[in-house]
Amino acid sequence: MKKLRIAVIGLGVVGTGFLTLLDEKKEVLEDKYDLTYDVVAVCDKMRGSIYNPDGLDVSLILKESPMADGLEGTRGLSSFDIIKKPEVDVVIEATPTNLKTGGVGLEHARRALSAGKHFISTNKAPPAIAYKELTDIAKNNNVYYGFEGTILSGTPAISLAIHGLPASEFKSIRGVLNGTTNFILERMENDGMDFDEALLLAQSKGYAEADPSSDIDGWDVCAKVVIMANNMLGSNMTPDDVEVRGLRNIGLSDVEAAKKKKMRIKMVGSLTRKDNGGIKACVVPELVDRSDPLYHVHGVTNALVFDTDTTDTVTVMGPGAGGRSAGYAMLYDLVEMHRHRKRLY
């Protein structure tokens, strides 16, 4: 099968995590999946861009900090220019999530899919804001739109729901979907820290951003809940349809009161089918007891619990963040895209 020509937009921890794994797994991709590739373009806001239809040396991209010595190709193209190139088959994109406007990530998604390119991204904004629009474009252009990394990072969550549980209906989906808030709650519970102390610690460990609002006010989980509603429950939801209550009103006394009842407070994103066929979507701090798999989700681990009509309750648990894990999610999507491509072309 023809070599895949890959463009990578965004070379932060996630983009380089992907490239590292792609390089590490070159042989197994070819031997096991008949997947061969060239990386023909990389583009990064800080490092600039380089494009060469004959392929770039991935080890040099990973080594050099400014996109400089040793790489031959056209420099200075914008991400939009690169997406347009006929020599690009698939765009791998890892830009920051901007839930308000969709940001440049939404524009990348629109342009790539409209140009008939497969598009794989860990950016939560495009599928949270414009799920139907983007999946419709992908369908009409017979290309793959992959966003496995938006839910539970490299832990195969969408894969499990869509591929592993076919023909199942989910009565509910509940999850601990944000490592930062889970870490903060655990520090309050185990170490008696108050909220601000625990947040500072999370920031010093690099879990929480300088502006932690996306995590602690629940917007990060909100985006994930919307993506799951649309992808796993066939809904057509936007962030406005989700009841979101962040963590700011949770004090140490709440955490300690829960502990006394042998329960825990967890920041839970949930989707529940209502009797009228609708879906209730929430992101709220919930009291959970020991019998709940979410009770046992520690640190920055994430988990999802599917209540199915076919095989009872299935839980999947694993990393919810990290460059290598998120990069792996994009490698998963690349293999999945390739499986689809073998069938389509």
Q: Which residues bind its own copies (CB under 8 A)?
A: 21, 25, 28-29, 32-33, 153-156, 159-160, 163-168, 291, 293, 296, 298, 310-319, 322, 324-325, 328-329, 331-332, 335-336, 342-343
Least spacing, CB of residue 194 vs its own copies, in Å:
25
Least spacing, CB of residue 49 vs its own copies, in Å:
27
Cα gap 131→108, rounded to integer Å: 14
Q: Is 72 helix (H, G, I), strand (E, B) or coil?
A: coil
Active-site option among 32, 224, 260, 266: 224
Q: Is 145 helix (H, G, I), strand (E, B) or coil?
A: strand
- Using CA atoms in the order 235, 241, 245, 247, what is the torsion angle rounded to 10 degrees? 50
Beta carbon nearer to its own copies, 48 or 318: 318
Cα gap 73→71, rounded to integer Å: 7
Least spacing, CB of residue 245 vs its own copies, in Å:
27
For 248, phi then psi, to 5°, come to: -65, -25
84 is catalytic: no
CB distance 234 to 169 below 8 Å:
no
Residue 10's closest CA among 38, 43, 32, 39? 43
Beta carbon nearer to its own copies, 46 or 344: 344
Beta carbon nearer to its own copies, 135 or 168: 168
The DSSP call for residue 2 is P
Specify which residues 306 forms β-bridges with.
173, 314
Beta carbon nearer to its own copies, 114 or 168: 168
Least spacing, CB of residue 139 vs its own copies, in Å:
14
Q: Which residues are catalytic?
A: 224
